[in-house]
Structure 1
Amino acid sequence: HATGSEVTTQTSTGTPAPSGTGTMLLTQLPEDVLYQVLLYLGAKDLGRLSQVSKSLHGFVNRDAVWKKLAKECLNTGITRNGTDIYPDIPLKERVRIAQNWFNGVCKSSLPLKWKTKLLPWLQLDMDVLYISQAAHIRGYHLDRDSKKLRRSPSEIYSGHQGDVCRFVLSDSHLISAGSDGNILVHSRRGGVSLRLSGHSQEVNCLDSKDGLIISGSRDRTARVWTLSSYSPRATIAMFDRVWSVAISPTLSSFVTGTACCENFFPLRIWDVERSACLCHLGSDFRRGAGVLDILFESPFQLLTCGYDTFVRLWDLRLSPQRCVMEWEEPHDSTLYCIQTDGNNMIASGSSLYGVVRLWDKRQTKCLQVFQLSRDAASSPVYCLRLSSSHLYAALASALHSLDFRQNTTSS
């Protein structure tokens, strides 16, 4: 057992060995042995041990010591496959903030407000938060230290004759879908480089990866586009309004979510090359149980949510593909959007009172709930985005920010 910075061995009877015969400093252990010892400690114990001496402080603060803990926590940036999303932030600091996510310790603020009620959408790219407001998309830089939005936008993208419904980002382009039925490909260096026209009604949803674009519309079609063509490569008759689409990380297939008014299989997987339906997911959706948001966690795992008030996790490796876990919104509210940390956490946005819920995938009960709108005329949460320390939620007339960096006494 360890006492301070010493390791004391014991005799076979359980009493400590005589002084000088079985005692050594922790720092005298080989590094690989010390590392294995520290794997048994929790965050509080590691924090206290780091205060014993300078040498232990340096060793304990290494990312390798905290990696096992980080994988078990919420939103530390370590995904299920081991990818590190935030390599520039020490893991010890991320584990500290993760405890705040788990306990709901945060500070709420309103970085942006506007008078007209809108259906805003968000994207977060490094230190820039993009938000659609009517026909425009504005990019706001986040201050590196305070993470507050600067008052004036650094980028503005325009061109639609109606409201922007959805938009996605790539390294070189911002691609937006509008209520005017058009898809605009904006160069991130400035200007509209491509206008894709084909839908007869508003384009509700959009996804894009590696030059491939999938769009879904109220006109009951889904379309497959590429950045190298002005006309769609394929048009798929859906016989129902399309509310959500998502391209698989493999780029070989995509998923559509419809309103479930005309077709009782609202979730279907399509082959990109042949535009043929590969399969449908689930068979017990009730009429009107439309799917409003779809998110791939891996090529084989898919998260969905919508009017039926559930977040569902689908495993595409099983035969047949089926839902393997589900989380129910306890107040029977429509779920407009979902986000995930790629590991243990899901955030969902509800249709009433601006309610955001945090879920731990290892349990079915809601972990934390935040009510962002307290007005009589409540607003849905239309979009959520996560960083290592913040949750951003877009409501009808304001952008809300939850800051989880608050100091605690846990370490």
Structure 2
Amino acid sequence: MLLTQLPEDVLYHILSHLDHRSLSRLCQVCKSMHGFVNRDAVWRKIAQGCLNSGITRNGTDIYPNIPLKERVRTAQNWYKGVCKRWILLRWKTKLLPWLQLDEDVLYLSQAAKIGAYPLHHDSRRLQRNPVEIFSGHKGDVCRFVLTDSHLISGGSDGRIMVHSRRSHMSLGLTGHSQEVNCLDSKNGLIISGSRDQTARMWTLTSNSPLATIPMFDRVWSVAISPTQSSFVTGTACCENFSPLRIWDVERLACVCSLGSEFRRGAGVLDIVFESPFQLFTCGYDTFVRQWDLRLSPQKCVMEWEEPHDSALYCIQTDGNHMIASGSSYYGVVRIWDKRQTKCLQFFQLSSDSVSSPVYCLRFNSSHLYAALATALHSLDFRQHPSNNR
């Protein structure tokens, strides 16, 4: 009996014992085997163990339109640090830009405006003029988030702008007396944090905040839980309490504080929920930390230290094994494998003479985008002809 004549369930079981190299070679045996091995089901087990393959820890496929075989091949480049680097956009004035990705559109804040740029992955530059501009702030945009229906931004003027992505209508929300450093939004709920030492709760249609929470410290970061029952605030850690606190949305009461050994000034600059009970944070204390909210008391279960003692401005995870972080000096982007404590790969994007933090980074299955003070950088991890094997 030929291999291709075996029942499909038996053949699947046999192929499940092969690594990605063996499967790639098997593809070249014949047309019949090529068609079978290219099925996503054959590659799924391997993909779950790769970095940024699009398969999350709970089995969700983030990029269902991209064949798993292609993503596994690209994942080897993420692991080895094989990529091509481009500067997509430059500007003369030093800014504090922020980024968001929505499929093939990149949103970039520059001063008081946010531009939407179509991504052409074969291009080394972004078109100079965005296809859409969101404005309304009288000062610089500090942070912004995307939802399915809205773009919501917080600015140095203390205002929050709610832009409809469908009707192109905008609404300005006032309530903070100083810059809005951070915000998050889910299903019509908005949580904002400000230098005025308050966190505020809004809806998409409210002209004034539904509630104001005194924080007694500058608020640098916020994140709403995927269940929307709670949210987390990260403060500057200039007072005698933990900079990380979890709040109940309905009662607006502090449920718990995370960690008790933060040194003074170890403010939390970015917070990412990977699931309702898995939380990742980073900040001035140079650590990426993973918190398990199922434990009692909730505690840090893993941490990764920036080896050059730099503050970490931003992080993003792939929902499985990979973390990407942006450092405060020389535009350093680091790739971490959660199964290891040491940094896996790093990329210095700014020169030794012109140091800039990575203010924000975002990645998809094949590219990582990093916003520095005067430029937007791209790392392309796709398989290139020069490194095919």
- TM-score bracket for this pair, using the shorter chain length: over 0.9
Match among 351, 359, 363 for residue 374 of structure 1: 351
2:200/2:209 contact within 8 Å kept: yes
Residue-by-residue CA offset, 1:304-348 (whole Å, 9 max, x unaligned): 000000000000000000000000000000000000111000000
User: Which residue does 2:309 correspond to in 1?
Assistant: 332
Could you state the TM-score of these two structures normalised by the residue count of structure 2? 0.98
Runs of 4+ off more than 4 Å = 144-148, 408-411
How much does 1:65 deviate?
Answer: 0.2
SS in structure 2 of the partner of residue 184 of structure 1: strand
The separation in 2 between residues aligned to 1:350 and 1:326, in whole angstroms, is: 16
1:345/1:360 contact within 8 Å kept: yes
SS in structure 1 of the partner of residue 344 of structure 2: strand
How much does 1:146 deviate?
Answer: 5.0
SS in structure 2 of the partner of residue 261 of structure 1: coil
The separation in 2 between residues aligned to 1:378 and 1:144, in whole angstroms, is: 27
> Is structure 2 residue 86 aligned with structure 1 residue 115?
no
The separation in 1 between residues aligned to 2:105 and 2:240, in whole angstroms, is: 39
User: Which residue does 2:216 correspond to in 1?
Assistant: 239
Match among 264, 267, 279 for residue 290 of structure 1: 267
Pairs within 5 Å for 1:309-348: 309-348=286-325
Match among 235, 241, 249 for residue 272 of structure 1: 249
The separation in 2 between residues aligned to 1:349 and 1:226, in whole angstroms, is: 31
User: Which residue does 1:86 correspond to in 2?
Assistant: 63
The separation in 2 between residues aligned to 1:89 and 1:145, in whole angstroms, is: 16
Match among 354, 358, 365 for residue 342 of structure 2: 365
Residue-by-residue CA offset, 1:59-106 (whole Å, 9 max, x unaligned): 000000000000000001111111111001000000000000000000
User: Which residue does 2:133 correspond to in 1?
Assistant: 156
Match among 54, 61, 74 for residue 31 of structure 2: 54
Query: Structure 2 counterpart of 1:328, which letter?
Result: E
Query: Structure 2 counterpart of 1:69, which letter?
Result: I
1:71/1:80 contact within 8 Å kept: yes
Residue-by-residue CA offset, 1:260-282 (whole Å, 9 max, x unaligned): 00143000000011110000000
Identity %: 79
For structure 2, list consecutive stretches of 5 or more residues without a partner in the other structure.
Answer: none
1:240/1:263 contact within 8 Å kept: no
* Segment drifting more, 206-215 vs 257-266: 257-266
Match among 91, 103, 108 for residue 131 of structure 1: 108
SS in structure 2 of the partner of residue 195 of structure 1: strand
User: Which residue does 2:76 correspond to in 1?
Assistant: 99
2:88/2:124 contact within 8 Å kept: no
The separation in 2 between residues aligned to 1:160 and 1:137, in whole angstroms, is: 10
The separation in 1 between residues aligned to 2:101 and 2:4, in whole angstroms, is: 43
The separation in 1 between residues aligned to 2:70 and 2:378, in whole angstroms, is: 20
Match among 24, 43, 66 for residue 20 of structure 2: 43
For structure 1, list consecutive stretches of 5 or more residues without a partner in the other structure.
Answer: 1-23
* Segment drifting more, 370-379 vs 388-397: 370-379
The separation in 1 between residues aligned to 2:332 and 2:219, in whole angstroms, is: 25
SS in structure 1 of the partner of residue 207 of structure 2: coil
Query: Structure 2 counterpart of 1:142, which letter?
Result: L
Residue-by-residue CA offset, 1:136-187 (whole Å, 9 max, x unaligned): 0000001265586334211101110000000011111110000000000011
Match among 349, 366, 375 for residue 389 of structure 1: 366
1:309/1:334 contact within 8 Å kept: yes
Query: Structure 2 counterpart of 1:203, which letter?
Result: V
Task: Label 1:286 to 1:49 Cα distance change in 2 as closer, same or farther (>3 A).
Answer: same
* Segment drifting more, 221-230 vs 206-215: 221-230
The separation in 1 between residues aligned to 2:127 and 2:42, in whole angstroms, is: 36
The separation in 2 between residues aligned to 1:406 and 1:104, in whole angstroms, is: 12
User: Which residue does 1:9 correspond to in 2?
Assistant: none
1:143/1:150 contact within 8 Å kept: no
Could you state the TM-score of these two structures normalised by the residue count of structure 1? 0.92
2:71/2:365 contact within 8 Å kept: yes
The separation in 1 between residues aligned to 2:143 and 2:278, in whole angstroms, is: 23
The separation in 2 between residues aligned to 1:46 and 1:114, in whole angstroms, is: 46
